[in-house]
């Protein structure tokens, strides 16, 4: 999933939450290796929204949501300790050449996708169905940089005749939350960098499953560290993130117009961008 670093702005700081330290829970679901072993997190009470999370990630042929195709996907479910209780992975034949730049990121070349991947229409249909089932089962869905993955999935659904998810929710985007609660932190805001900040080990970045599960654990770590200043319910947090994302886009758009491109327009809409919107996400 692409993640674009944005400049920091002088915005009011949030009050610090009371905290204590404790070791993170080690996850060993079946034969899967744990993604983190001894990371420490700062604890406040775990928010209600963090107790049952579905996680979702795509690896794709590019970064343009209008033209890129799904190559790999993961939808998993986590319990309150971050343990994986359900996991589904997909490899698709996208029906187009996978650019070498994309292969360099996620490791899947065109030849492998054609030989081992399933038809894209089947994969997209199953991913949408799995996400819809998770929402119906009462799970919030964690996606790092949600506008990208949900918008691309929606475009793929329309492309392959699958009924898309429309305004899915509740959605939890650790990128949006992290930029809201830790506005002055310098450095990158990629999933890898943010996972390191919150003590979540990510050993196979740009593997859809590893990224999705790590994003879910980052969301839980955010809840533990900043729960005092975050809404407790998933629905309230979803609505708050929509407002935060809009403000973050407005700030980024203002910066880009001042220093680089007077006509720059940041993509609005969270977590799903309306069809026909042409600018790439500022997240």
Residue 217 covered by a domain: yes
Q: Report the alpha-carbon distance of residue 36 to residue 27 in Å, rounded.
A: 8
Residue 4 covered by a domain: no
Residue 73 covered by a domain: yes
At 51-76, the pLDDT tens digits run 999 999 999 999 999 999 999 999 99
The domain tally of the chain equals 1
Residue 191 covered by a domain: yes
Question: Tokens in use for 89?
Answer: 């992975």
For the domain that residue 108 is a member of, what is the CATH number?
3.30.420.10
At 148-198, the pLDDT tens digits run 999 999 999 999 999 999 889 999 999 999 999 999 899 999 999 999 999
- Continuous H helices in the chain: 100-106, 110-116, 120-136, 146-159, 174-181, 191-197, 208-226, 234-259
Task: Please check the confidence at residue 276 and state whether its pLDDT lies above 80.
Answer: no
Question: Tokens in use for 278?
Answer: 């042409």
Residue 267 covered by a domain: no
Residue 280 covered by a domain: no
Residues facing residue 119 across a β-bridge: 93
- Residue 168, helix vs strand vs coil: coil
Task: Please check the confidence at residue 279 and state whether its pLDDT lies above 90.
Answer: no
- The reported pTM is 0.80
Predicted confidence band of residue 40 (pLDDT cuts 50, 70, 90)? very low
Q: List the domain range (segments joined by +) for residue 131.
A: 20-259
Q: What is the mean predicted confidence (pLDDT) over 105-124? A: 97
Residue 62 covered by a domain: yes
Residue 45 covered by a domain: yes
Are 182 and 194 in contact by the 8 Å Cβ rule? The answer is: no
């Amino acid at each position: 999933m692409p993640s674009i670093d944005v400049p920091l702005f002088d915005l009011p700081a949030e009050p610090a939450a009371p905290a204590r330290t404790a070791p993170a829970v080690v996850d060993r679901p079946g034969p899967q290796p744990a993604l983190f072993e001894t990371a420490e997190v700062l604890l406040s009470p775990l928010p209600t929204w963090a107790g049952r999370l579905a996680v979702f990630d795509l690896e794709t042929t590019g970064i343009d949501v209008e033209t890129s195709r799904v190559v790999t996907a993961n939808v998993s479910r986590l319990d309150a300790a971050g343990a994986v209780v359900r996991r589904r992975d997909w490899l698709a034949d996208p029906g187009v050449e996978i650019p070498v730049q994309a292969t360099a990121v996620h490791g899947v070349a065109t030849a492998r996708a054609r030989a081992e991947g399933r038809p894209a229409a089947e994969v997209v249909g199953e991913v949408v169905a799995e996400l819809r089932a998770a929402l119906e089962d009462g799970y919030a869905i964690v996606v790092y940089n949600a506008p990208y993955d949900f918008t691309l999935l929606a475009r793929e659904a329309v492309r392959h005749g699958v009924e898309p998810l429309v305004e899915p929710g509740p959605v939890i985007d650790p990128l949006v939350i992290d930029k809201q609660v830790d506005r002055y932190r310098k450095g990158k805001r990629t999933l890898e960098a943010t996972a390191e900040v919150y003590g979540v080990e990510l050993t196979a970045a740009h593997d859809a499953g590893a990224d999705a599960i790590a994003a879910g654990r980052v969301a839980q770590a955010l809840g533990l560290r900043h729960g005092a200043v975050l809404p407790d319910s998933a629905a309230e947090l979803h609505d708050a993130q929509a407002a935060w994302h809009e403000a973050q886009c407005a700030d980024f758009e203002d910066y880009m117009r001042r220093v680089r491109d007077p006509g720059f327009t940041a993509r609005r809409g969270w977590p799903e961008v309306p069809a026909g919107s042409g600018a790439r996400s500022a997240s």
